[in-house]
Structure 1
Amino acid sequence: MVGTTVQDNFASIVNNNRYVIGPLINDSIVLTLQSPNSTAEGWLNFIEVNAIRNLIFDQSPISFRDLRKTGTGQVVKYNLTANAGIKIWDVTAFNDIKNQLYTVNAPVVNFNSEADSLREFIAFDGSNFLQPNFIGTVSNQNLHSISQQNMIIVTDKDFVNEATTLAQYHQTVDGLSTTVVSSEQVFNEYGSGVRDPGAIRDFIRQVYYSASSSADSLKYVLMFGAPSYDYKNILGHGQTVVPTHESDGSINLTQTYCTDDFYSLMDSSEGMFYNNEIADLAIGRIPVRTSQEAQVINKIMGYSASSSFGMWRTLITSVADDQDYNIHFRQTDTLAERIESYDCGLNSNKIYADAFVEIYDSITNQERYPDANIEIQKAFQQGCAVIQYMGHADSTAWASERILEYEFLDTVNNISNLPLILAGTVSFNAVDDPEQYSGGQRALMNLTGGCIASIAASRLAYSSSNNNFMQRMILYLFERNSGRWPTLGDAFLYTKKAMYVDPYVFICSFGRSCNKNFITGK
């Protein structure tokens, strides 16, 4: 044992310790997790070993530094066994590389270096350089020439055709000047080829600031493709990814999340989520993973067709979980009453779990509300403009009684009466795990039904924050501005502007940000 460290904070996953040790036994390092809890687990990211060695140049470039002596007034002397023709560079700053002078005392060269801070050096003789691997060619492009667009669609190269079809639809039907770019193009031009979400934001900012008037200003951004927490493909999940912003690593479920809000923060001082950053753009995502799923554009474009209009567009279904001192019932009823108070000709269909008979399922050893389940399925099948839910959930169903199982969303055929889902629950719009499909993904990716859009949290969210967000979202969704109905993205953006602090950043929107009003389609 070379040392011990103690961690008692569940969210603390980074611990830096320095141990001075002798020679390694059998060239190995052994880590042991000790805990009074026999089920405790730990995940090792990496071990970094720094060792003192004799600097002997053997024709291959050698990098070196000295961690032992850094601080104000410190000076380090380096001795390197090498020929006099060797070159030594100070590469501490990659954009300020300096030639390092040295003294020759054959067979050693040496030099002194100030060590107020850690300095990095490389020695080479020009005869044995590393060879870069050829990856591929980059086509000529000029995304910097794109300006004055109302809408941007960022997609994967595999989905450019479908995204272009959708862009042409919005240009023709909605009068929105729309540009389609692939994430690969953006990474090449704004990220030096690195798969960096910041490159996408930089591109969006360029177009945003190119506007000369409100008419040619950027309003909507659509991410047409699914993200992944492994967006650099380190684990080999595949490259078909349009990344989202991932929070700093944490195993605290309330502090780890993914969010597309990052792409809507246009001020140069924003992007770190310091609780004072306000969105400027309406962001939506259609999280397709395959070319087959990309055909969802047909469902989306058909939503505004005349054949999809009917009385169902005036119906709002409100669903509430049980227990918890009736908090979900009270929250849902408040939302329903607010909707009914608007001069929109809306009618409510209330499905509150406690209003139904609860039974015990001996097969699963759990409580169930079978009649509530039937009524929720009817709401999807018969049609309604909005289905809103307040309550608990897991990765497979609403409520512990499973009043809506997500498998149903895969197969329900309601192509002519698709609802907007407002889910005030946990992880319904989780999207960055390539090995799972959340409820929101299942509903939107159903090519013959499901939903037209979904707004919900991507991670754990508490009842109070869900309720606050949904109350405000409903307010903006059904409030006309100068006689004009807001788009889904408008209402979502207004809500984000009003509620720009944690924990609202990880409530995300699946669907088109420019989706027309759910009552009139105009």
Structure 2
Amino acid sequence: MKKYLIVFLLLTLNFSFGQSRTFNLEWNGSRVMATESSSIEVPSFNKESLSYSYENGLKYVAFWNTDAAIDESSISITNLQTSSIRSSELKDLKPNSIPSGVSFKIRNTQARERRGVYVEFAPIFRENGMLKRVDQLSITYQNRQSSQSRSTVAISNSVLNQGTWRKFYVDTTGVFKLTKSFLNDIGVNTNVDPRTIKIYGQGGRMLPLLNSEPYPFDLTENAIKFVGEEDGVFDNNDYILMYAEGPRGFNEESNTHNNIFTDKAYYYVHAGSGFGKRIQSYVEPTGPSTLTINSFHELQYYEVDEYNLARLGRRWFGDRFDFDSDKVFEFEFPRIITSEPVDVEIHAAAVGEVNTSMSVRINNADVDVFYFDPIDDPILADDDFFSGEINLSSSQVSVALSFDNSGNPSSIGYLDYISIEAESELEYIGNQFLFLNKDLALESGVGTYEISNAADVDEVWDVTDRFNTTSINNVDSNNLLSFKTQLGEVRRFQVVDFNDTYEPKRDGNNNVLNQNLKGTLLQDEQGEFQPLDYLIVTREDMLNQAERLAQINRDQYGLTVKVVLIDQIYNEFSSGNQDVGAIRNLVRYLYDNVPNPDEKIKYLCMFGDASYDYKDRISNNTNIVPSWHSYNSFSLSGSFVADDFFGMMDPDEGTMVPSDQLDLAVGRILADTPQRAKELVDKIESYYAPEAYGNWRNNFITISDDVDEPWETILQSTTDDIGNLVSSSKPFVNVIKIHSDAYTQESSAGGQRYPDVNKAIFDAMEVGALVVNYFGHGGEDGLARERIWDKNNVQELNNSCKLPCFVTVTCEYTKFDNPNRPTAGEFLYWNRDGGAISLITTTRQIFVSVGVAVNVILENYLFALGSNEYPSMAEALRLTKNDPAISGIEQRRLIFYIGDPAMKPAFAKPEVRLTRINGVPVTEETPVLNALGYATIEGEVVDENGNLLSDYNGVLTGTVYDKQIDRSTLANDGTTSQNGQLIVLDFVTQGEAIFRGQATINNGQFSLDFIVPRDITIPVGNGKVSLYAKSDSPLEDHSGSDSTVRIGGLNENAAEDNQGPLISLFMNDESFVSGGITNQQPTLLAKLSDENGINTASGIGHDILAILDGDETNPFKLNDYYVAEVDDYSQGELSYQLRDLEPGLHTLTLRAWDVYNNSSLAEIQFVVFDDNEVLVVENVLNYPNPFVNYTEFWFNHNSSDLLDVSIQIFTVSGKLVKTINGQTSGGGKNGNSVSRDLVWDGRDDFGDRIGKGVYVYKLKVHSPQLNKTVEKFQKLVIL
């Protein structure tokens, strides 16, 4: 249990000397705690200290850093000031949730080497029936004189390190018999001295969640009884008896009798290398017996785990009460002492739209009635329980449950479990059984157990220490078997009858390969000690891809990375049984055994998908690398799945209370198949590829929801504040603000929509950004109630090599643990042609107030405000969760990191700076850049200290922006504030890009020239120059910006220009000919040129616009996609992907303007085929034709996937002379409609030249993806 100090303030207050701290509560009315689908109003005080959950109610929380741990037992409350409140001031707080007295909790915390103190108390309480609130509370405390020592398991080899090992399993608890034939069947060599046979294992108990609870960190040998081993030969009649624990037995942390992870408990067999552990004789305590014990506490239960009611958490339920609303459960206690009451506990739940109930009758007597509230989002089920004593008059116990659905047939009841504990006579009745007596814990001295009718009992085993069983022999077959036991504790004994044993069971593969995680993970290849930076946990079928990821991180960051298989962890740390505690314990072992704090493990990657179902009860389950699930299993805001569990290393952590602090950055690769694993690692690899370097790395996209209700104004204002904060702190970052309410809302059959917001997100994402942050409503299907960005959109996104970290502190956007409902977040992450490289995202509903706090703090760490040392994205989230401002808020656990936890955002290094503008040093007053004026900007690439990098050579991309633009939202929903004013956000965006070009960098210096467009805003003001430099050797990039450049006015002496630009259009590539075929998402390519340059300044009517099929109401604005050529502002190109085009003929026109506002128009036609249904091959030819000794075979196709191609060449008489096989690809999702990959030298299959003349060839193209084939015939001529 947690070492909380609980002080009930109704007691006399204590006073002491020491350090002090005062907590002032500034009460200020009420606040709305809102999620996607619900809200609750609660009394409000200091927002940084207010914590609320449906389960724990309203709390005041505080956290502060400290150099030394405090003595938790020294806490004294020295001042308590309260005031009375009315019940109406509780708002939506339930009166029964108000405690009687202030319960004060305080504990030490630690995150790596940073110490802290966490405080929590109820700010509203009852005293003598009156409601009171805390206005001020002061405490004094002493620092602890010495720090607590960590319980560290020293580095050692695993027992599995050598020898031959086999395993078997049990599914119940008791005495098992292992025969020679059984051991032979599982592969054990029985031709050895049987005294060397050993059995290892911990049985089927779940591992403790709390780190400080002891549990073996390797397989432990069990004492066994080997009948017949004395002669050193394993005869056919010899056998082993052992006590084994199955996967059933009450677990207090999860309130269940069933192991939630497994239905099997594994044990391991090893032979050789010394004699094994054997059951020794029981040593009775000395001293006279003062108590005779002839009864025991007998537990029986009924619990079936079949249904997870809300697909949340780790609670599962059994029997359904729907059409069959009445059920009876029978129990038999043949030895019951009826004069003693029995303890009965019954837990049940219901899911219904109305109030329902369940009556409980035991032996025809009414006992209780459970009452269940209707579901009310975010609460998706309700439970109730009975716990009490019942008097019985017989050994039969009949529990009758009757569910009343209140006339609503959709309401269903569920049984969790029935548990009955009776006091029974200690009598043998023909079957082995386990006994204990709880009352002995309260006694002292020595007592005597007496077992009656014991003539057939061979032995009684003390199994309190399950690894070191000891035996009491009944050699004389005494009918009354007695032995002494130590009182003051509860010891467990097993009655053994050699003729009544259980049989072990086996899987198909019982072989266990040698392994040694404990002994090797902290070693280098030479066997020397080596700290580990990064651990990857995966399943065997994904091992190759996990190893690829490991190598990427070795190469990119110089990390020491190792990959382990999940089954290997289970073998060493949980006796072969699935258990999240085993993974955590391995990480603790690695963390604690590195003495240098700076060298302790930093990153953990869970490489594989996870599910709320640990046991594969649901179809299409994806429980590959399990995650931790909360006991709360009904609330979308209070139940959570968390990998944080694996990163909490301190002794008092593990139960996931709000004060637990993360020591590791943890991430998850959401791979549900080996193919998906490959695709995701491919994306990670591409993040570091040369083609991923580009000025998109300077971009940050912020997206906000609109304001449907007054309180939602915080959604867009917080988003805007984040953008402004990053822009001011990191000037090189270009912030693209997409406030939904700044666009026109439209009505549709499906509700209100923002089509222009959807397009703006598409365009901004495909231009590229390093980070995208959305704040607002959302869910599994996408963002915002207006569906501004849904799960279909994220799958259509094509931003390969421009992959952002996608931040969505919104509800359930990436609720990945339900395999049967993929979410928008998952599709975004899985997108093979783009999407996101990582997600900082939510898996459950989060309160908006929590989202505000998390979002602001996260950006400070993610963008490393005040520093140029960027943490990994997962580390930024770890620091956020540990930040004192939110470290007591339980809902921070809902935020998940999806991706490689060691990956750092690809910010370019500092710095690129301007040195001259039109020849004038920037340290002086520089000339204004006038419209139609010739501009030259010069600059250099420098290091962090401002020194020129004189050996830096590469290409600079420079973007010149006009002055900032003042904008306002449109109040589309007409939402007003309390004073009746429309809620409008005034905000500032970066100016329009007036030039985007490239220049060569020679020896660290560059010069970029261009003509300033006529369409700039004429008033003079400061614009911005955004700079990005890339060098190929070595591969690195730098960025910078300058906001002192002045732009405005008009060059009155500009030369005349009356000619529009030249435009050439293509689809997918430059080999395309107008009228050719494409897939449904082709890419438009446009090459533009003009002696004075192309206008991108967005003057009214002067945008680069594409019109598809004459639809002028939905043009494509392409300014942001145009980039001038290197060192030549007069020409450049753009590419833009079209989406979801209907099959058939399409016509696209593109109009572009030069900087003098002269325009030109170009047109292209193309035929779209449905690339999901039809494979189309057209325009088959060979070029040149005729030819002598070289020709290429060309054809158009509409596939974006790999195609198998075969060409057979025949004489005119039909004789086959040559076969050419090969492959061609569409080049990704865009599709490259022209194939020219197959060539021929005019020789036959034997390499001989063939005669001149006319030949016929057959082109055969096969799509494995569609399983379709197309054949075409054509002629060629050899000269």
The alignment's TM-score, normalised by the length of structure 2, stands at 0.38
- 1:49-106: CA deviation from partner (whole Å, max 9, x where unpaired): 5576995543x52345679x78856999866545355323344564575546889998
Say if 2:515 is the partner of 1:141. Answer: yes
CA contact (8 A) 1:480 1:486 kept: no
Greater share of strand = 2
Greater radius of gyration (CA): 2
Say if 2:753 is the partner of 1:343. Answer: no
Say if 2:447 is the partner of 1:62. Answer: no
Aligned CA distance change for structure 1 residues 93 and 354 (closer, same or farther; 3 Å): same
Of 198-207 and 293-302, more deviation after overlay is shown by 198-207
1:201-240 equivalences under 5 Å are: 201-211=584-594, 213=596, 216-233=599-616, 240=623
Of 159-168 and 408-417, more deviation after overlay is shown by 408-417
Match of 2:693 in 1: 309
Q: Equivalents in 2 of 1:487, 1:105: separation in Å?
A: 69
Q: Equivalents in 2 of 1:204, 1:85: separation in Å?
A: 45
Aligned CA distance change for structure 1 residues 157 and 500 (closer, same or farther; 3 Å): farther
Q: Equivalents in 2 of 1:423, 1:190: separation in Å?
A: 36
Offset at residue 286 of structure 1 (A): 0.8
CA contact (8 A) 1:279 1:500 kept: no
The two structures, once aligned, show a CA RMSD in angstroms of 3.3
Match of 2:499 in 1: 127
Say if 2:704 is the partner of 1:330. Answer: no
Aligned CA distance change for structure 1 residues 413 and 190 (closer, same or farther; 3 Å): same
Say if 2:854 is the partner of 1:469. Answer: yes
Alignment equivalent of 2:419, drawn from 43, 48, 72? 48
The alignment's TM-score, normalised by the length of structure 1, stands at 0.88
Q: Equivalents in 1 of 2:688, 2:730: separation in Å?
A: 22
Alignment equivalent of 2:704, drawn from 296, 320, 323? 320
SS at match of 2:897: strand
Of 210-219 and 192-201, more deviation after overlay is shown by 210-219
1:31-430 equivalences under 5 Å are: 31-34=401-404, 38=408, 40-49=411-420, 57-58=429-430, 60-64=431-435, 72=442, 80-91=452-463, 94=466, 97=469, 99=471, 120-135=492-507, 136-144=510-518, 145-147=520-522, 148-211=531-594, 213=596, 216-233=599-616, 240-295=623-678, 296-322=680-706, 323-325=708-710, 326-362=713-749, 364=750, 366-430=751-815
Aligned CA distance change for structure 1 residues 407 and 179 (closer, same or farther; 3 Å): same
Amino acid at match of 1:5: V
Q: Equivalents in 2 of 1:459, 1:37: separation in Å?
A: 32
SS at match of 1:132: coil
- 1:259-279: CA deviation from partner (whole Å, max 9, x where unpaired): 111122121221122322221
Match of 1:450 in 2: 835
CA contact (8 A) 1:254 1:461 kept: yes
Q: Equivalents in 2 of 1:50, 1:239: separation in Å?
A: 38
CA contact (8 A) 2:536 2:604 kept: yes
Offset at residue 116 of structure 1 (A): 7.6
- 1:233-258: CA deviation from partner (whole Å, max 9, x where unpaired): 46576575111121123313322101
Of 14-23 and 135-144, more deviation after overlay is shown by 14-23
| Aligned sequence identity (%) | 27
SS at match of 2:839: strand
Amino acid at match of 1:146: L
- 1:335-375: CA deviation from partner (whole Å, max 9, x where unpaired): 1111211234112222222222223322x3x2222222222
Say if 2:876 is the partner of 1:491. Answer: yes
Aligned CA distance change for structure 1 residues 377 and 48 (closer, same or farther; 3 Å): same
SS at match of 1:456: strand
Offset at residue 486 of structure 1 (A): 2.5
CA contact (8 A) 2:537 2:564 kept: yes
Amino acid at match of 1:259: A
Higher relative contact order (CA 8 A, sep 6+): 1
Amino acid at match of 2:725: R
CA contact (8 A) 1:73 1:115 kept: yes
SS at match of 2:503: coil
Aligned CA distance change for structure 1 residues 37 and 259 (closer, same or farther; 3 Å): farther
Amino acid at match of 2:780: S
Aligned CA distance change for structure 1 residues 87 and 106 (closer, same or farther; 3 Å): closer
SS at match of 1:44: strand
Aligned CA distance change for structure 1 residues 79 and 161 (closer, same or farther; 3 Å): same
Offset at residue 438 of structure 1 (A): 2.5
Q: Equivalents in 2 of 1:166, 1:42: separation in Å?
A: 47
Say if 2:844 is the partner of 1:459. Answer: yes
Offset at residue 504 of structure 1 (A): 0.8
Aligned CA distance change for structure 1 residues 62 and 484 (closer, same or farther; 3 Å): closer
Q: Equivalents in 2 of 1:316, 1:239: separation in Å?
A: 33
Q: Equivalents in 1 of 2:495, 2:598: separation in Å?
A: 57
Amino acid at match of 1:333: D
Q: Equivalents in 2 of 1:105, 1:484: separation in Å?
A: 77
Of 198-207 and 410-419, more deviation after overlay is shown by 410-419
Q: Equivalents in 2 of 1:493, 1:29: separation in Å?
A: 49
Alignment equivalent of 1:504, drawn from 892, 896, 911? 892
Q: Equivalents in 1 of 2:516, 2:736: separation in Å?
A: 52
Of 321-330 and 208-217, more deviation after overlay is shown by 208-217
Aligned CA distance change for structure 1 residues 210 and 70 (closer, same or farther; 3 Å): closer
Of 385-394 and 40-49, more deviation after overlay is shown by 40-49
Q: Equivalents in 1 of 2:716, 2:621: separation in Å?
A: 43
CA contact (8 A) 2:426 2:450 kept: no
SS at match of 1:5: strand
Structure 2 regions of 5+ residues with no counterpart?
1-360, 374-378, 523-530, 910-1035, 1037-1279
- 1:466-500: CA deviation from partner (whole Å, max 9, x where unpaired): 12111111111222676423321332222122133
Alignment equivalent of 1:5, drawn from 344, 369, 372? 369
Q: Equivalents in 1 of 2:497, 2:697: separation in Å?
A: 75
CA contact (8 A) 2:782 2:813 kept: no
SS at match of 1:223: strand
SS at match of 1:43: strand
Amino acid at match of 1:341: S
Offset at residue 461 of structure 1 (A): 0.5
CA contact (8 A) 1:231 1:239 kept: no
CA contact (8 A) 1:429 1:510 kept: no
Match of 2:907 in 1: 519
Match of 2:928 in 1: none
Q: Equivalents in 2 of 1:269, 1:289: separation in Å?
A: 34
SS at match of 1:503: helix
Aligned CA distance change for structure 1 residues 466 and 37 (closer, same or farther; 3 Å): farther
Offset at residue 285 of structure 1 (A): 1.0
Offset at residue 143 of structure 1 (A): 0.7
Say if 2:399 is the partner of 1:15. Answer: no
Q: Equivalents in 2 of 1:22, 1:215: separation in Å?
A: 66
Of 217-226 and 76-85, more deviation after overlay is shown by 76-85
Amino acid at match of 2:540: K
